[in-house]
């Protein structure tokens, strides 16, 4: 099994994906253990002094003015975890919780939190054992970080609350720790606070969304190319010299992908009844511009994620010169903004895909295709309601594109009077990505059927490879009406699992 070694300088996106989705094992580097021990010495020294230090010998948030006596400090750290584990609603997905815990461990191992090495090791042990704390949908305002979700994870480290075992069964966390020989942690000064103060949930979901969107943008280029063939559109608009004079990198990449898929097609550039079209509709002609803008949005979001993955997010932090300073680095604004930005781009990509699908089904705009791609229009409805489903998904995605990060709501008796709502932005982006997959699947279903109905003209070799693969995957081709939902589900699985991209790349080579 792949092993991820956590040091002091952060982790990579591939590390997050390996732990969250593939169950990779975690090891702490010797450098990390040494940094943990050194920072802990500083915290212990401050704890022994009479001067109040936030998070070490004071309360939290609006209660930070109270100095906490030595004998109550362990109770203070336990209490912050218990009281902050106040989430409600449905359970959050296992991969999100694993990413959340792993990214908190990343910050702990930076040596800037003052947590003891044994606490960090327990975090790694819980992840390695396949134990997943029960975390709920609601509870984070994205400042001070993802407090409630992280608190539910910290509760598991203490042997309290509920968690899911490697068998998928939810049980008391204490029982699961005992079965795997893991001793519950006894939190000391600052440790409870350090386990809660981070942007780890929203960051983990950003990393996973970027990985999924990378595949989906390639998928969208492929389905756009298939739709262009189905509509007898012209591929001249994809010429590299046209995109070179407007040098947005994403636009050039999308155009190049479409051109690669269409290479060798006999369908592009032909016109119904020899009546030439001067231009194709925007949804066809401007596909690279829209998908390309989304790709450039992803590039910016990836840069933000990269910086955040290299960050140590906590409050207060232990600095190399021995100071322990309060700060605002836990504020989720940088991550929240790009999560919202990605939801906007995803909604627009879905919108243009739906417009191409609708054009394929409309006999007045499809250039010779049967109404709704039906076998016997009137007796058969064809793909009419598949487009309804796609339109409903797009409409939902437009609502999900409304930014969460513009909706701050004050908390903690106005001490935390401006929050990021980054967790909410991440949660709605996950839904948007899920829906985008389905939208692309519907376009794939319609476009492959349209291409097959163009008898006498051969599609591009890459298109043929896609059609053959999707038919083998259980998505049926043209014919009389049938129960449509299983076909759409099979198309969704084909896109979601990356088979669409692999089928095209079997001919084109790697797409951008």
Q: Known catalytic residues?
A: 54
Q: Is 428 helix (H, G, I), strand (E, B) or coil?
A: helix
Q: How far apart are CA 122 and CA 126, in angstroms?
A: 6
Phi first, then psi: what are they for 231, rounded to 5°?
A: -95, 5
Radius of gyration of the chain (CA): 26
Q: How far apart are CA 125 and CA 94, in angstroms?
A: 16
SS3 for 365-395 is CCCCCCHHHCCCECCECCCHHHHHHHHHHHH
Phi first, then psi: what are they for 133, rounded to 5°?
A: -60, 150
Kindly tell me the burial class for residue 27, based on how many C-beta atoms sit within 10 Å of its own C-beta (0-12, 13-18, 19 or more).
middle
Q: What is the largest CA-CA distance in the chain?
A: 90
Q: How far apart are CA 354 and CA 379, in angstroms?
A: 25
Two structure tokens written together for 69 = 């006596």
Q: Using alpha carbons, select from 79, 304, 55, 335 the residue that is nearest to residue 200.
A: 335
Q: Do the bridges between strand 136-138 and strand 324-325 make them parallel or antiparallel, or are there none, so unpaired? A: unpaired
CA distances from 185 to 78, 155, 423 (A): 10, 10, 27
CB 262 within 8 A of CB 238: yes
CB 85 within 8 A of CB 96: no
Q: What angle do CA 140, 145, 146 make, to 5 degrees?
A: 35
């Amino acid at each position: 099994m792949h092993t991820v070694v956590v040091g002091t300088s952060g982790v990579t996106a591939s590390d997050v994906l390996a732990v969250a989705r593939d169950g990779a094992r975690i090891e702490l580097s010797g450098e990390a253990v040494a940094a943990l021990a050194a920072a802990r010495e500083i915290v212990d020294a401050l704890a022994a002094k009479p001067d109040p230090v936030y998070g070490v010998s004071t309360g939290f948030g609006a209660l930070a003015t109270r100095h906490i006596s030595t004998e109550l400090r362990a109770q203070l750290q336990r209490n912050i975890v218990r009281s902050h584990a106040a989430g409600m609603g449905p359970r959050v997905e296992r991969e999100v919780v694993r990413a959340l815990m792993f990214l908190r461990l990343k910050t702990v191992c930076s040596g800037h939190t003052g947590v003891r090495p044994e606490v960090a090791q327990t975090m790694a042990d819980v992840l390695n054992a396949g134990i997943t704390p029960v975390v709920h949908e609601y509870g984070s305002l994205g400042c001070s970080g993802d407090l409630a979700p992280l608190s539910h994870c910290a509760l598991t480290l203490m042997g309290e609350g509920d968690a899911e075992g490697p068998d998928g069964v939810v049980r008391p966390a204490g029982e699961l720790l005992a079965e795997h020989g893991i001793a519950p942690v006894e939190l000391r000064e600052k440790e409870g606070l350090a386990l809660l103060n981070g942007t780890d949930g929203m960051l983990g979901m950003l990393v996973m969304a970027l990985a999924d969107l990378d595949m989906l943008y390639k998928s969208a280029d492929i389905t756009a190319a298939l739709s262009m063939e189905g509509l007898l559109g012209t591929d001249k608009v994809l010429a590299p010299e046209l995109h070179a004079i407007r040098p947005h990198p994403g636009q050039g990449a999308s155009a190049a992908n479409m051109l690669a898929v269409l290479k060798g097609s006999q369908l592009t550039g032909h016109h119904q009844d020899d009546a030439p079209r001067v231009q194709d509709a925007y949804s066809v002609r401007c596909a690279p511009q829209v998908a390309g803008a989304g790709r450039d949005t992803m590039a910016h979001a990836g840069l933000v994620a990269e910086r955040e993955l290299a960050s140590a997010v906590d409050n207060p932090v232990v600095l190399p010169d021995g100071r322990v300073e309060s700060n605002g680095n836990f504020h989720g604004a940088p991550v929240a903004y790009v999560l919202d930005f990605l939801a906007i781009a995803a909604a627009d990509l879905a919108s243009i895909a739906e417009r191409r699908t609708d054009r394929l089904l409309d006999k007045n705009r499809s250039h010779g295709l049967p109404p709704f791609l039906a076998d016997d229009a009137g007796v058969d409805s064809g793909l009419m309601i598949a487009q309804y489903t796609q339109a409903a998904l797009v409409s939902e995605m437009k609502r999900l594109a409304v930014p969460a990060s513009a909706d701050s709501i004050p908390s903690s008796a106005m001490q935390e009077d401006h929050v990021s709502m980054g967790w909410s932005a991440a949660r709605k982006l996950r839904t948007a990505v899920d829906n985008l997959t389905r939208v692309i699947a519907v376009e794939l279903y319609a476009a492959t059927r349209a291409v097959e109905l163009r008898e006498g003209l051969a599609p591009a070799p890459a298109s043929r490879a896609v059609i053959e693969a999707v038919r083998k995957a259980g998505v049926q081709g043209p014919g009389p009406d049938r129960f449509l939902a299983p076909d759409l589900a099979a198309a969704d699985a084909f896109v979601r699992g990356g088979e669409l991209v692999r089928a095209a790349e079997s001919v084109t080579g790697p797409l951008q």
